[in-house]
Amino acid sequence: MAADEAEKARGKRAALAFAAVALVLGLPLWWKTTETYRASLPYAGISALGSLRFQLTVPVSVVFAKGALPGAQQRRLPFADTQEKESLLNPKTSITSRYETTYRSATVTEQAALATAAVQEADAALLLLQEDSLGALTVYVIPEISPLLPQGVGVYVGKHRSAVMRCPQGPGDVLAAVSARVQQIVQAMSFTTDSITAALSDRVPMDQLGTDTRRPFKSSLGYEITFSLLNPDPKSHDVHWDIEAAVSGYVQPFLDKLGLVANFSVDSQILYYAVLGVSPRFDKASSSFILSALSLPHVINPVEARLGSSATSLYPVLNFLLYVPERVHSPLYIQDKDGAAVGTNAFHSPRWGGIMVYNVDHPAPDKALLPLRVDVDMVRVMEVFLAQLRLLFGISQVPLPEEFLLESPGNKGLTDWELDRLLWTRTVENIATVSTTLTSLAQLLDKIGNIVIKDDVASEVYHAVASAQTAMLELASGHLGSAFQASKEAVISSERAFFDPSLLHLLYFPDDQKFAIYIPLFLPMAVPILLSLVKILREAKQSKKEPTKTD
Amino acid sequence: PHWVSGPEAEVQRMAWAVAAVLGLLLLLGSPGGCGGSPGPPRDSLREELLLSPLPSGDIAATFQFRARWDSELHREGVSHYRLFPKALGQLISKYLVRELHLSLTQGFWRTRTWGQPYLQAPAGAELWVWFQDSVTDVDKAWKELSNILSGIFCASLNFIDSTNTVTPTASFKPLGLANVTDHHLLRYAVLPREIVCTENLTPWKKLLPCSSKAGLAVLLKAERLFHTSYHSQAVHIRPICRDASCLSVSWELRQTLTVVFDTFSIGQGKRDWSLFKMFSRTVTEACPLASESKIYVDISSKTQENELLEVTPPPLSVHEASVQGDRRTYAVYDLLSPLLFNVSRSLNVQLKWKRPQDSLDLSTPVLHAQRYVSGYGLQTGEISTLIYNTHPYRAFPVILLETVPWYLRLYVHTLVITTKGKENKPSYIHYQPAQDRRRPHLLEMLIQLPANSVTKITIQFERALLKWTEYTPDPNHGFYVSPSVLSALVPSVLAMKAEDAEKSPLFTSLFPSADGSSYFVRLYTEPLLVNLPTPDFSMPYNVICLTCTVVAVCYGSFYNLLTRTFHVEEPSRGGLAKRLANIIRKVRGVPPL
């Protein structure tokens, strides 16, 4: 009987040992060999980026020329003042504009520069005296009676990052009046809540925005600019354009100035037999052909098939088409919604590019002279394309009061403060893009547990989060240049992480197939172990009960 | 997409603002001299169509569009395109391509019955590229280039990878201007599986300056072009000398398209043909951008009596040339000549045979080849190539290039080359063995072909087992082996005088000709279709089930053995039989067992 008991105990121990091996060795081994590698991600940082509280700080210095302020107030200089304005776009997005204004009186050299005869000269001279930092603005206040500004002009906004204003004369607090005026100038030269809201258009419901906000191209690291000459009728027109000179003369300086914002490449092509998608209507009164604004949406699509995308890069393409209408359809004019002819004979399509119709003068219906040689007047063409280019980049003018005088941007086609305006909006847009990209990436990875997260993807995500945070901090401390750089880096890293091909491996591995593979092995192995465990438990219970019975 | 036309007033206002600045610029003297007198056209276009009746009675139509651009594409900043397509120009300047040859072909050129082709291409897709010596990572550039070409031509060129790319040492020399012939800059790949169709033709046509709206390209109607026995379209880009002194380089883009119409089937048994019958179009004008636009009709006949066939309308001129060792006569229609369209508004070239030609003139070409796979079973096999030299008295060497995928394991020791029953030792062999899943076999040989002989090359192979994910979706169809390539300088039967290559039609100017006594020929053999041992694809699951069952059975008995408790059986009252016996015994009054 004792031998029997010993045998029973041995059987029990063996079953328990099996169960233990399966639990201690088998389960972890199975778990380890079938798990997908998922590097840890900064989920906290990503969700913190989800709510964007922008604080945009503009350093402004207001410099008073001699005699601009009454003596009593002159003595209060220099002093600093900070104004903050917060606006809430939605529960997760808010913008705080913060103007750190320092008031001081002019130095001797500044005084000398302000004493020159013409305001343009003063602007150039003052440029040398300012430290060249992106986003920082200087406003010079000159006495009411100063001859520097022409009659009737209250404020002059220069080519660079400075403006000159007359000191308002009035009974009240002069400094308060000055600061109100400075506020107006600074908003025109840096950003307004509206321009920032437009940059955040993806996060804001559509009805809060105007139609213009969808016009500019989305922020990107580079753009391909393609000029295409469409000649649908090469039998009648032998069109030549000196695009190389035009690009190097007019477009390149503008792009050099924008080089900080993105990379650009410019190319051009001539397409023959490329016709517009709609046939124009003949107008008897003017004996010309009319393309009405309503039909413009149908013009581009058939042409676009011929344009060809850039084969060698992934940047968005800006298309500028110069269309020389066929002989039988010329002259061709574009009409706006009211039925009036558009002066430039051009139109643009948001986030796509622009089209200009270039009519050819036909001297006489003399067939023998065909094809007619046409040399395109590139100045006329380029001024339209440059204006469209500025619009497509979102460099548009702000409505200003009458007494403001804007200096023309010069041969660069872009002033320093316009560049700043662009940088403010682009930085904000970049950070918003990074936030959206990372949030959706985190959601995706959270939702699909099968996706492998490699270390390099994780490090890109970390870098993107860190750069976006840096960009936010730099914006708050008023360093526009470094903020923009950081936001650009954040975009690069986040895109790289989001589009990493390794994320696509093994996306589809359904559970039913997993069961089908596991069951033939696991079921026959698990059943005996479980049954003997149940048996052992039952016996243990009985042996516990038995002693109480006998006692 | 919805297009919103912008507020034009704003554009106009800004335009004036910019205008002021630009005006100022002009006064200062605009950089680059805007509005100066333009130089001579830096690019030119020539279009040609050659119609040649083939010995078998079919008719081959070969289009060639030559765009020439006097520009240094590799120089930084050249990005203004006119006749040269922008997509290809960008490709060449970005990847530093020296020469690019791409062909997409449906069907097989039957050299025996159709004669020597002007420019043959293997069935499927073929791509070979010479890179500049400044390219550091040729493989990377090759990979990216083929991916982009795949996008441009809507072809599966993205399937080109290291398993089907080779670097031939002797077969493919640069056709253009080249001072570097280091073959490490060359990459060559063939995709024999590729099927060519309309979606490949459309992007090819889009590269033409006149698109398919004017000139000879009007004839390129997809539904007719693909209703043929052979369709091959190609793009050749190479640098050429700008002028005779050859001090500067121009770029040449040749777009060629060859189709072979089966005249018997489209012409109800007659051999007469016309442009309209073949293309269902006629030519009405030349492409206005072309500086040359010509249609050539091959009216040469082997016999002396020239009056076998009649072409209408009568040609304006006749051109005689020696092409591929043969004297040929061409009727030439110059579309740019004003005389041509004087009579009728459209040109419909027609050819009539004066009397029915019963005995087809089937003279076999000097060099032709054929290839087949032999053997039985799914383990081993043999590839045999037959090369024919029908020249009556001249022997000449030929370079043979074989590219065999890694899953056919070639045994080089079984390579046998026999001519007229004797062993023929190749004078040059370059063999690069395959590496599994990495690169294919490459075998290049220079073989001397004696006059009037057949040379047989055989090599044995073993079929490899693939991993189950490596099989194509239709594995029982078989696996393609790309055609072998024969390159040779074939001696001509007739003595040729060296001519101005630029003048003669089509391809004579593409290949370099050494002298008048021989001409260059590149031939492709048939692609092979080889069956590999193909498993049942539910196999992995079956294997999992079987192994699991075996493991479970072993484990079960093992488990039973270890955990079962053994104890001595008490003698019981016995089984049913014993009890039954006892009952019977009781009845009988006998003591129980």
Per-residue HEC secondary structure of B367-432 comes to EEEEEEEECCCCCEEEEEEEEEECCCCCCEEEEEEEEECCCEEEEEEEEEEEECCEECCCCEEEEE
Give me the residue from B8, B24, B552 closest to A336, CB to CB.
Answer: B8
Give yes or no for a contact between A138 and A130, defined as CB atoms under 8 angstroms apart: yes
Note the pLDDT of residue B496.
54
Decide if A37 contacts A452 (C-beta within 8 A): yes
- Token readout for B295 is 């249609």
Q: Which of B54, B46, B188 is nearest to B117 (CA)?
A: B54
How far, CA to CA in Å, does B51 sit from each of A206, A415, A447, B297?
62, 63, 63, 5
Strands (E), B181-248: 186-191, 230-241
Average pLDDT, chain A: 84
Distance of CA A154 to the CA centre of its chain: 34
Q: Is the dihedral of CA A482, A483, A485, A486 positive or negative?
A: positive
**Which burial class, exposed, middle or buried, applies to A102 when counting CB atoms under 10 A from its CB (0-12, 13-18, 19+)?**
middle
Give the DSSP letter of residue A453. B
Higher pLDDT, A108 or B141: B141
Q: Which residue has the tokens 């730099």?
A: A474
Cross-chain Cβ contact A521/B552 below 8 Å? yes
C-alpha–C-alpha distance, residues A397 and B126, integer Å = 55
Give the DSSP H/E element, type plus range, for residue B296: strand B292-298
pLDDT of B156 over the 90 cut: yes
Model confidence pLDDT, tens digit, residues B486-515? 999 888 766 555 555 555 556 556 666 556
Find the mean pLDDT for residues B521-544. Answer: 87
A 254-293 → B contacts, CB under 8 A: 265-270, 272-274, 293
Distance between CA atoms of residues B63 and B51, nearest Å:
9
Triad B526, B532, B533: Cα angle to 5°: 165
The better pLDDT of the pair A44, B35 is held by A44
Residue predicted with more confidence, A153 or B451: B451
Closest CB from B33, B214, B565 relative to A245: B33
The predicted-structure confidence for B379-421, as pLDDT tens digits, reads as follows: 999 999 999 999 888 899 999 999 999 999 999 999 999 999 8
CB contact under 8 A, B81 and A346: no
Q: Please, which pLDDT band fits residue B141 given cuts at 50, 70 and 90?
A: very high
Q: Please check whether residue B296 is in contact with residue B63, taking contact to mean a CB–CB distance below 8 angstroms.
A: no
User: What confidence tier does B573 reach under pLDDT thresholds 50, 70, 90?
Assistant: low
Task: Name the more confident of A437 and B512.
Answer: A437
* Chain B neighbors of A405, CB-CB under 8 A: none
Which is higher by pLDDT, A208 or A216? A216
Taking the CA atoms of B11, B13, B15 and B21 in sequence, report the sign of the dihedral they define: negative
DSSP-based three-state secondary structure for A449: coil
Tell me which H or E stretch contains B273: strand B273-274
Q: Indicate the pLDDT class of residue B7, thresholds 50, 70 and 90.
A: very low
Instruction: Name which residue leads in pLDDT, A12 or B20.
Output: A12
Who has greater pLDDT, A412 or A350?
A: A350
- Quote the pLDDT of residue A28: 93
| CA-closest candidate to residue B11, choices A356, A188, A295, A352 | A356
Q: Which of A234, A348, A352 sits opposite B288 (nearest CB)?
A: A234
Q: What Rg value do the Cα atoms of chain A yield, rounded?
A: 36
> Does the pLDDT of residue B32 top 50, yes or no?
no
Q: pLDDT above 90 covers what percent of chain B?
A: 39
State mean pLDDT over A255-267: 88
For the segment A95-113, the average pLDDT, to the nearest whole number, is 87
pLDDT at B71: 81
The first and second tokens of residue A533, run together, are 């465990």
Of B4, B11, B148, the CB nearest to A346: B11
Please give the DSSP secondary-structure letter assigned to residue B125: E
Contacting residues of B for A352, CB less than 8 Å apart: 3
The pLDDT of residue B4: 40
Q: Which residue has the higher pLDDT, A72 or A425?
A: A425
What residue in B sits closest to A407 (Cα-Cα)?
B17
Least Cα distance to B294 among B47, B501, B43 occurs for B47
Omega prior to B313 cis, within 30 of 0: yes
Does residue A356 have a pLDDT over 70?
A: yes
pLDDT tens for each residue of A164-195: 888 877 667 778 888 888 888 888 888 888 78
Give A-chain residues touching B557 at CB under 8 angstroms.
Answer: none
Tally: H helices and E strands in chain B:
11, 26
Write down the pLDDT at residue B186. 94
pLDDT of residue B280 exceeding 50: yes
Q: Do B34 and A397 touch (CB under 8 A)?
A: no
- Name the closest residue on chain A to residue B19, using Cα atoms: A383
Q: How do residues B160-205 score in pLDDT, each as one tens digit?
A: 999 999 999 988 988 888 776 788 999 999 999 999 999 999 999 9
Res B362: pLDDT = 61
Q: Omega before A371 cis (within 30°)?
A: yes
Give the minimum alpha-carbon distance from A456 to chain B in angstroms, rounded to a whole number: 21
Query: Around Cβ B286, how many Cβ atoms within 10 Å?
Result: 22
Q: Which residue has the tokens 């636009």?
A: B293
**Torsion, CA B119, CA B123, CA B129, CA B130, rounded to 10:** -50
> Nearest Cα to A303, choosing from A263, A341, A346, A272?
A272
Please tell me the predicted confidence (pLDDT) of residue B19.
42
Q: What is the pLDDT of residue B548?
A: 85
- Determine, for residues A312 and B564 on separate chains, whether the beta-carbon distance falls below 8 Å: no
- Smallest Cβ distance to A411: which of B25, B285, B552? B25
Of B5, B209, B555, the CB nearest to A293: B5
Residues 338-377 of A with CB under 8 A from B: 342-344, 346-350, 352, 371, 375, 377
Residue type, A319: N
**pLDDT of A240 higher than 80:** yes
Cα–Cα distance for residue pair A123/A160, rounded to 1 Å: 8
Q: Token match 């020389």: residue?
A: A324
Burial B8-42 (b: 16+ CB within 10 A, else e): beebbebbebbbebbeebeeeebeeebbeeeeeee
Quick one: pLDDT at residue B326? 73
Specify whether the CB–CB gap between A471 and A486 falls below 8 A. yes
**pLDDT interval class at B37 (50, 70, 90):** very low
Residue in chain A nearest B17 by alpha carbon = A408
Shortest CA gap A185–chain B (Å): 21
- Of A257, A502, A251, the C-alpha closest to A379 is A251
CA distance linking residue A149 with residue A166, whole number of Å: 8
* pLDDT for position B513: 59
Number of residues that make up chain B: 593
Residue type, A349: S
Residue B343: both structure tokens together: 């009579």
Please indicate whether, in this complex, the C-beta atoms of B563 and A520 are within 8 angstroms of each other.
no
Q: What is the pLDDT of residues B432-448, one digit of tens each?
A: 999 999 999 999 999 99
Alpha-carbon torsion, ordered B510, B515, B517, B523, to 10 deg: -30
Chains A & B: contacts with CB separation below 8 Å: 210
Contact call for A240 and B38, based on CB within 8 A: yes
Looking at per-residue confidence, does A457 or B338 come out higher? Answer: A457
Chain A neighbors of B341, CB-CB under 8 A: none
What does the block give as tokens for B134?
A: 């400044």
Query: Under a CB-based contact definition with an 8 Å cutoff, are residues B61 and B273 in contact?
Result: no
How many H-runs (helices) and E-runs (strands) does chain A carry?
16, 17
Residue in B18, B285, B566 closest to A386 by CB: B18
**Angle at which helices A378-392 and B8-28 pack, to 10 degrees?**
130
**What pLDDT was estimated at residue B308?**
66
Residue among A240, A311, A349 whose CB faces B3 most closely: A349
Least confident of A543-547, B91-95, B135-139: A543-547
pLDDT of residue A207: 59
Is the pLDDT score of A102 beyond 80? yes
Give A-chain residues touching B38 at CB under 8 angstroms.
Answer: 240, 242, 375
What does the DSSP 8-state code read for residue B198?
A: H
- pLDDT for A122 equals 82
Q: Name the band, by pLDDT with cuts 50, 70 and 90, for residue B123.
A: very high
Q: Are A148 and A101 in contact (CB under 8 A)?
A: no
> Closest residue of A to B93, CA-based?
A312
Mind telling me how many Å the CA of A410 is from chain B's nearest CA?
6
Residue A163: closest CA among A414, A420, A407: A407
Burial class (CB in 10 A: 0-12, 13-18, 19+), A128: exposed
Residues of A (5-44) whose Cβ lies below 8 Å from B: 7-8, 10-12, 14-15, 18
**B488 and B399 Cβ atoms separated by less than 8 Å:** yes
| Cα–Cα dist B327/B495, whole Å | 9
pLDDT of residue B22: 41
